[in-house]
Amino acid sequence: MSVAVSATTVDAFLGGKVEAVQPKDGHHRAGLEAVLLSAAIEPEFAGTVVDLGAGVGVAGMAVAARCPATGVILVERDSEAIACAREALARPANRAFAARMSIVAADIAEPESSRAAAGLGRAIADAVVMNPPFLEQGEGTASPRQARAAAHVLAGNGLETWFRVAASVLRPGGRLVVIFRADRLEVLLAALGNRFGDAAILPIHPRAALPAHRVLIGAVKGSRAPSRILPPLVLHPETGGTYLPNVERILRHGVGLAEAHLPWVSDTRG
């Protein structure tokens, strides 16, 4: 398959352990959320991890780079993003983990049968990580480029579809990790519904005194255990754009949430 990708950049994550190829503009560019999402998987985690709606693959690559006992499947519908991910996996910097990764071209809104035909069958995953588009249809300003719009906008049933597909792909007892806008907490919890339990809710605050702008949730398929609101993760000091030391360890050194933010370890099943 050959897809024309206009100008791309190569961006380093985890202090260079991962190199992502991203369209220079016009696309949703991966960053903070993808790395925080990947950090929720412990380094000892073993099994198949699906990165649902992977974009150019930053979260999935970061999981593969950090967790040597994982095989990671990137699931993405956008051909340009897939081309970027393929190019990234061919880069020397990613050689240490690229062999444990694969790419499935599929739209999560497809019927289960065609998802399965594409390689995304039922109960194939031990964990699913996902970072769904942050805008809902009709929300926000229209983007000039269609690709950028598609990556930012939740179509149709919105989050409900994402959680349904995640539940389908996961084995019973498998783990879901999702990062999303904090102001949609009620929609996230409703979408977990009866499919998931034992939810660990991690509010992520830009600064200690400000409301959370993101929320990261870990949950277990089929569990009936109640949810927990964890002590928050704060990104920046009171002023300035630097990251707090424990966040820096996650972003630059590939340290997992369980080590960099102790409440996560004490309350998330391994």
Where do contacts with its own copies occur on this chain (CB under 8 A)? Answer: 182-186, 189-190, 192, 199, 201, 203, 205, 208-212, 215, 226-232, 262-263, 266-267
State both tokens at 252.
């630059």
Would you call 31 helix, strand, or coil by DSSP?
coil
Rounded to a whole number of angstroms, the CA Rg of the chain reads 17
Closer CB to its own copies, 116 or 229, in the complex: 229
Strands (DSSP E) along 67-195, which ranges? 70-76, 101-105, 125-130, 135-136, 153-154, 170-181
State both tokens at 261.
């933010």
Whole-number minimum distance, CB 208 to its own copies, in Å?
6
How many residues are listed for the chain in this entry?
A: 270
Dihedral (Cα; 57, 192, 159, 207), 10-degree rounding: -70
Whole-number minimum distance, CB 96 to its own copies, in Å?
34
CA distance 139 to 80: 24
Whole-number minimum distance, CB 203 to its own copies, in Å?
5
- For residue 121, how far is the Cα from the chain centroid? 19
Q: Residue 219: beta bridge partners?
A: 176
Closer CB to its own copies, 31 or 232, in the complex: 232
Closer CB to its own copies, 121 or 222, in the complex: 222
Whole-number minimum distance, CB 168 to its own copies, in Å?
21
Whole-number minimum distance, CB 146 to its own copies, in Å?
27
CA distances for 153 relative to 132, 138, 181, 182, angstroms: 9, 9, 13, 16
Whole-number minimum distance, CB 165 to its own copies, in Å?
20
Closer CB to its own copies, 31 or 263, in the complex: 263
Are 200 and 176 a contacting pair, CB within 8 Å? no
Closer CB to its own copies, 157 or 266, in the complex: 266
Closer CB to its own copies, 222 or 232, in the complex: 232
